[in-house]
A = this chain, B = another copy of it.
Amino acid sequence: MKFFAEINIMPLKEILDPQGKAVTSSMKNLDLQEIQHVRIGKHITLEVEAPSETIAKDKVDQACKKLLANPIMESYKFELHLISNAELILSQ
């Protein structure tokens, strides 16, 4: 079974996000001062081959812990969905 995962990795709330702060202040110059509290993280998509959803979840979790996210500065969450055969054919 093939699963598609969408992972969001964000800087922890307690941690300053200088890139987000810079973008927030740039909004004023673009006449978009209604926009505030910009925070910037990563959005990662991937495909994982696994015999069950539980195993697929575990694989994605390992990937986040070992490589994608830095747990000291970032939090992550992800969603998985099964890729149907129809979608596989379409994406080829």
Contact = CB atoms under 8 A, between A and B. Distances in A.
A55 B41 CA distance: 25
Interface of A: 8-10, 20, 23-24, 26-27, 30, 32, 34-50, 59-60, 62-63, 66-68
A51 to B, nearest CB: 10
A64 to B, nearest CB: 11
A62 B10 contact: no
B43 A8 contact: yes
A38 B43 contact: no
B45 A32 contact: no
Contact of A45 (B10, B45, B47, B48): B10
Contacts of A49: 34, 36
A67 B34 contact: no
